[in-house]
Amino acid sequence: MITRLLPHPLLTLLLVGIWQMLVNDVSAGSLLLGLLLGIAIPILTSAYWPNRPKLRRPLKFVTYAMVVLWDICVANLVVARLILFRRNASLRSAWVVIPLDLTSPEAITVLAGTITMTPGTVSSDVSACGRALLVHCLDAPDPDAVRDDIKSRYESRLKEIFE
């Protein structure tokens, strides 16, 4: 019964939250309308989610978001310094290949997005079999260290959350 009414509880929660932000006001009326939308939309669209991703540990996602937000701030400072104070000729930009342990497409998408937002790396391509990411580094004296850093800092956390 509860799974039929709420086929996707996290989506419901997300929709209610986004509705409050859109209305820009938390009141009983907007909460009720948000809840109605949050219940109706997952039910109406559940047919299009045959293999919807399961978050094994949703709370870990909060820690992950905090880590990423902090890294985004650091990334901005690092890249700003590289742009302002380094001559182009001394930038050692490089391609880095990241072999993936993650298998779910959603987890890989989140990882690729994280890589793009964080220090000096942009994810550019995925291998045809979906088991390696191609990442471009703005300044990487040691490409292997970049790869290990991404695997230990982000991928291991995502693996706990998604798989």
Partner 1 sequence: MELWPDILIAAFLVIGGFFGLVGSYGLIKLPNPMTRLHAPTKATTLGVGGVLIASMLSALFDRGVLSLHELLITLFLLLTAPITAHFIAKTHLHQNVRREDLPDTGTGAPWASESNRDIGSGKGVSE
Both tokens of residue 92? 């050692």
CB of 76 to partner 1, least distance (A): 4
Q: Which of 79, 104, 149, 153 binds partner 1 (CB under 8 A)?
A: 79
Strand partners for 97: 134
Q: Which is nearer to partner 1, 54 or 92 (CB)?
A: 92
Collapsing DSSP to helix, strand or coil, 23 comes out as helix
Q: Does 90 bind partner 1 (CB under 8 A)?
A: no
Residue with the two structure tokens 């809840």 = 35
Q: Does 123 bind partner 1 (CB under 8 A)?
A: yes
Both tokens of residue 54? 């399961």
Spatial distance between the Cα atoms of 5 and 7, rounded to a whole number of angstroms: 6
Applying CB under 8 A, the span of 33-41, 46-54, 128-136, 150-158 interacting with partner 1 comes to 128-136
Q: Give the pairing of strands 94-99 and 132-137.
A: antiparallel
Contacts of 160 (CB under 8 A, 6+ apart): 56, 57, 60
Q: Does 124 bind partner 1 (CB under 8 A)?
A: yes
By CB under 8 A, name the binding residues for partner 1.
Answer: 18, 20-22, 24-25, 72-73, 75-76, 78-80, 83-84, 88, 91, 93, 95-97, 99, 112-117, 119-120, 122-129, 131-132, 134, 136, 138
